[in-house]
Homo-oligomer: A and B are copies of this chain.
Amino acid sequence: MKNLLSMEHLSTEEILHMLSRAAAFERGEAAALQRTYHVANLFFEPSTRTKTSFEMAERRVGCEVIPFDAGFSSALKGETMYDTVKTLEMIGIDAVVIRAKEDEYYNELLEGINCAVINAGDGAGQHPSQCLLDLYTIHKEFGHFEGLNITIVGDISHSRVAKSNATALTRLGANVRFLCPAEWAGNFEAAHSWDEVLEDSDVIMLLRIQHERHAVSKNFSKDSYHEEFGLTPERERRMKEGAIIMHPAPINRDVEIADELVECERSRIFAQVRNGVFARMAILETILKERN
């Protein structure tokens, strides 16, 4: 595996290998890398948890992290993504972790770049490291994917997470359904009421309402979103035994989910953050160990 760009490029074997390595890291195993690799994190959009999680994972597999301030870089002088990454490669960087606003920005990097590219989110496209940590969280819980009913709730059409996860979970045998207001379904078929999906879901995966990308308020306020599509205590009580709640965070408390449910027994929201470090260690190890 040279790069990690999109879940669609991964074979089922590669996915399962990384989940197994994540579990090994969680048990305390060390990464199997021969030398110190140099990594840079290029975040052209704000993100606490993804960037910090990669920073931690990079140190835990023994990388040296070279700081790169995307908000203060030559990209501001109009430099192409290719030239920025090629420059880092010549400086001695082995892998770049990139989050950028443009869908599939990485197409520019497929030829001529030797440095590994790890996609940490491209526009409204993919977010494969988030997907792998979600898969790891589900697999840890249930031990398998086959036949699980997984309901993704929120702005499906704009969500990187929804797309990455739907593709991968379906391939692994899960039954993925969507729940959202009609105008947010995009090309996906979706339920429009909790009653259709609530009681037989094994996993309820809430998406973040992205105030940055579009207004909640077109057709409803935050309150009315919560009332219609949010996970309320009353709905949580109707969930199946053993079913879990997930959310990629940051959370809008009392919008996607009631404040009091964020750390409830079913919630794996903060566990996902913890799992993210192990999943990212697995990605880094898998990619870096193929380099000399």
Across the interface, name the chain B residue whose C-beta is closest to A252: B78
Given A46-B74, A49-B87, A91-B49, A79–B250 Cβ distance below 8 Å? yes
* Contact between chains at B273 and A87 (CB < 8 Å): yes
Contacting residues, chain B, for A91 (C-beta < 8 A): 49, 52-53, 56, 273-274, 276-277
Contact of A40 with B by CB under 8 A:
yes
Partner of A66, one of B55, B69, B253, B271: B55
* Contact between chains at A48 and B277 (CB < 8 Å): no
* Contact between chains at A80 and B49 (CB < 8 Å): no
* Nearest-Cβ distance from residue A63 to partner chain B, whole angstroms: 12
Contact of A223 with B by CB under 8 A:
no
* Nearest-Cβ distance from residue A127 to partner chain B, whole angstroms: 15
| Cα–Cα, bound, A274→B90 (Å) | 5
- CB neighbors of B among A270-290 (8 A): 270-271, 273-274, 276-277
Across the interface, name the chain B residue whose C-beta is closest to A72: B46
Partner of A211, one of B72, B77, B87: B77
* Contact between chains at B56 and A75 (CB < 8 Å): no
Contact of A221 with B by CB under 8 A:
no
| Cα–Cα, bound, A83→B52 (Å) | 14
Contacting residues, chain B, for A192 (C-beta < 8 A): none
| Cα–Cα, bound, A271→B91 (Å) | 9
Contacting residues, chain B, for A69 (C-beta < 8 A): 51, 69
Contact of A229 with B by CB under 8 A:
no
Partner of A64, one of B49, B59, B83: B59
Across the interface, name the chain B residue whose C-beta is closest to A64: B59
Contacting residues, chain B, for A83 (C-beta < 8 A): 249-251, 253, 262
Contact of A263 with B by CB under 8 A:
yes
Most buried by B among A48, A74, A83, A91: A48
Given A250-B83, A251-B83, A252-B78, A52–B88 Cβ distance below 8 Å? yes
Contact of A147 with B by CB under 8 A:
no
A5-36 CB mask vs B (1 if < 8 Å, else 0) is: 00000000000000000000000000000000
| Cα–Cα, bound, A48→B79 (Å) | 10
Given A87-B273, A273-B87, A277-B92, A250–B74 Cβ distance below 8 Å? yes
A195-210 CB mask vs B (1 if < 8 Å, else 0) is: 0000000000000000
* Contact between chains at A71 and B72 (CB < 8 Å): yes
Interface residues, chain A, with chain B CB atoms under 8 Å away:
38, 40, 43, 46-49, 51-53, 55-56, 59, 64, 66-69, 71-80, 83-84, 86-88, 90-93, 112, 211-212, 249-253, 262-263, 270-271, 273-274, 276-277
